[in-house]
Structure 1
Amino acid sequence: MASHPAISATAFPALSALTYEQLQQLYVKNKAELTKHVNEAMGVEEKFYGGHDWFVRWWEAPPHIVLQQQQQQQQQRQPQEPSNGSSGAAITNLAISNLAQDHNGLEHQTIPASEQSEAVNMVKNRFRRRLQRFNWVTGPQRQPDLERVLEGSGFSCQEEEPVMCADLTASENFPDNLVSFGGVGGDNAAAPSSSSPSRLSTLADLQAAGAAQNDLRRFLPPHYAPLSPPAGLLPEGVVIEPTSSLGIIGWVSAWAHGAPECDVLHWTKVYARVATAVYRDQFRMFAARRGSEVIGTGYLHCHSGIASIHSLFVHPAHRRRGIGRALVLYAMQEARAMGYQVATLTATAPAMDLLKKLGFKEFGAVKLYTWYPVVLPSATREQGRKYAEEQQRRQKQELVSLAEAEAKMKEMEAKDAEDEDWEFV
């Protein structure tokens, strides 16, 4: 894959030159570009709706993709008899959970307050007819009015996570050459195979093609020559290095630790297509590896003048050994080598202390809201409406009763968390 054409240094703004709002806008532009590439790799379609001076843009999975994944997941499940309820009011949710529906959504959009109810109801009604769930991500700026409209329309907040940024020009954040690139670089690197994992149909095919070559990388430029890590940074035998097309199966298997085979196959195909379609200087996957085993993952997405770090994950058996910290530093080092001056990421709460030590500061938060359809094939519309209202009432009661317990759990998690007991999204 060709490198991106040369970019002027003025395209990479300094963190000190950005206002709070400008940084949030760059984060949104970067995320929108990444979402576009991921959804296009999946075959998801972009849709628009709006008025004269506003519009809302979202992504939705075509019905044939949803049906295909439903069939794949049903094949992995044991057949279950449908439950029978009393008075003909049994509830059967036909909107089977599948990864295609995870691509139904929109992110970080600003809608005039007077139009928010119309936009939210339009989306909800559209996906009610499609019998599919829908995700709506707010932030990183505060959007309390939109959040109230979403909650009033049946959306529930599934996650709230901080977004953070770091100055890559600040030498105190990290010294030079902290992380080993590992393996063999430069002219000795193995050339990629002509076979593309994105064209293979089963997880077994992907494993057969990549298991023996997970440590192979693309043909890399000279600056990827191997470096020796300082003593104590990584456990003995662990290296961090770029991920090749053939190594994506190992990367996804580690990142999606414990996920069903169909999930691993899905994301392997998606990331393989993105990696081959996007310039290397824009999208770079990397992994921590011990021998042939991938034990940590991450990737960089560079766009709109900033470098965004994603999918940092350390296998539970290898946490608290400095690998997560090294993955963050590796990503920062790669971004700085390309000329970027600002790095951003979305973090979980337990990782906040570690990231602050690496120079990251919070500049907003993102919230994931999800709407779930309720399908009633044998009940009347009125029964469905009453059922949905009852479910919402119970959810609100549970949220109130669990609020104190959840706050206590978060306090305990933050207290018990050590450097590596975390993962990023």
Structure 2
Amino acid sequence: MSQEATIRRGVRNARYAAIPNHVFEDARLSMEARWLLGYLLSKPDNWTVVIGDIIKKGGCGRDKARKMIAELVEFGYAEREEQNRKNGKFDASSLVIFDEPKVMPPAGVSESVASLPQTDLPATAKPSTAEPSPAKSAHSNNLDSAKTDYKNLREGEREAEGQECPTESSAVIDKAFWALVKDWPGFAGMPKEPARRAWYLLTADERHEAAERFPRWLALLKAQKKSHVPAPSTYFGEKLWQDVPSAAEADKPTSVMAGPYGKLWNATRIAELLCPSTGPIAGPTAFDKLQIDNGKTTLADVMAEKRMRSGWPTVNTMHERARDRQGWVCPLSIEEPAKGFEQVHRDSDRMEAWRREHKRRGWPFFDGRLPDWIYFPALDADEDLDRAVASAVDRYRDQISDFLTVRSKGDDHAA
């Protein structure tokens, strides 16, 4: 029996649209752009769609939505309408959408199928009834026309959002582009237009950040011993500079000395315990084996005890320093969740519940004389203290998931 898929059409109701097959077969368009074109063409004439609607219906981000729009413009399925400027600002702009990439519209077509203003609220203006200008070639080699198309699309979006008309000229944008890529590793042998096009799709602020953080991005790649430097088009398109902290952020302290048993101190301690144990764990001694043989303990219990005592050397050191009232250098990245910790009295039922939770998880607990109050993750109202404590630990782990991921990668590298 053939295993090939068969298309079977169900009974149609009145809610369907007639869309040319080539809309979904044009291989020049990405699958996402084909979806957007089909979605817009399914709407009635004069339908007004906003960026927020595309984001919601397509389950994508704002940048992705704009890239899909850029594809439709590039391959002739969409054109920008003329805008009227008032008081230094432009009215809401729109895109006229076509069901095929046309040079001239067929006779009888007077209005667009759909219009797409680049604004966060629906616009009330109807699309232009004027015949669209000839669409540019799908694969144009004219750098100036490609530059202008992408520049107008990006600037039109900002203008519709109520921002002042940008003052950067094409010459200024171009100059900044060549100044950035002139010493790019390997750029001499790369195609220039994809990078230039991606550069023009950025906002002025994004271009400034991309250039300002580029040297630190290269230094980061070198520190990570990366053998390949991504192309400029990838750097701009995927906004890789955002992985690099700004100069102001780089100057900020990343850690601080925290006093023992306080919020940040115990937040750091529990964060360390939530990481896998890394300390060396010795095997059972002769005495341990004798105890096991006599049935006084089990191998599992012996190894659990050894893991608790030496599995987390950082925590053990924190405990030793705390006994001498010495603090610990703690990361500021978990300072915010640490603010939600609550005081627990050393002789309270809650403290005993925390002690049991440590034992259940195989974690080392405090030893020696404790202060009156110690900070732990806050508990929800719950009659069962043990369940509340376990839930508090799980909640805290979710809050510091990014820290734990970075911490885990560091341990893997060290190993």
TM-score range, shorter chain: under 0.3
Larger RCO (alpha carbons 8 Å, 6+ apart): 1
Higher strand share: 1
The structure whose Rg is larger is 2
